[in-house]
């Protein structure tokens, strides 16, 4: 079964957007990890870990699942 060109183009656009967003979220997560591991202040470490938790559950996981789903649809 083939998709109509318009649907395929939309699916590809959503897939690329989710994939690039996922990569960006992972880069942000890694930057927070470096910040947490090199910080000397306890408040900075705590803030970085909190931001890593939020980034992981609210950006990385949903974008990864969306990229997988749209990849499978294509």
Per-residue pLDDT at 69:
98
The answer to whether position 57 is within a domain reads yes
Q: Which helix (H) or strand (E) covers residue 27, if one does?
A: helix 5-38
The answer to whether position 62 is within a domain reads yes
The answer to whether position 5 is within a domain reads no
The answer to whether position 45 is within a domain reads yes
Q: Does residue 56 sit in helix, strand or coil?
A: helix
Question: Following CA atoms 70, 10, 3, 61 in sequence, which dihedral angle do they give, to the nearest 10 degrees?
Answer: 10
pLDDT digit string, tens, across residues 7-25 = 999 999 999 999 999 999 9
The answer to whether position 15 is within a domain reads no
**pTM, to two decimals:** 0.90
The answer to whether position 10 is within a domain reads no
Q: How many domains does the chain have?
A: 1
pLDDT digit string, tens, across residues 23-61 = 999 999 999 999 999 999 999 999 999 999 999 999 999
Per-residue pLDDT at 1:
77
The answer to whether position 53 is within a domain reads yes
Round to whole Å and give the CA distance between 39 and 37: 6
What mean pLDDT is predicted for residues 4-9?
96
Range of the domain at 41: 23-73
The answer to whether position 9 is within a domain reads no
């Amino acid at each position: 079964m083939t998709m109509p060109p318009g649907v395929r183009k939309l699916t590809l656009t959503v897939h690329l957007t989710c994939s690039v967003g996922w990569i960006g979220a992972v880069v942000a997560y890694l930057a927070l990890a470096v910040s947490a591991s090199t910080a000397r202040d306890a408040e900075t470490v705590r803030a970085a870990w909190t931001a890593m938790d939020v980034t992981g559950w609210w950006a990385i996981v949903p974008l990864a699942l969306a990229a997988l789903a749209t990849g499978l649809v294509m």
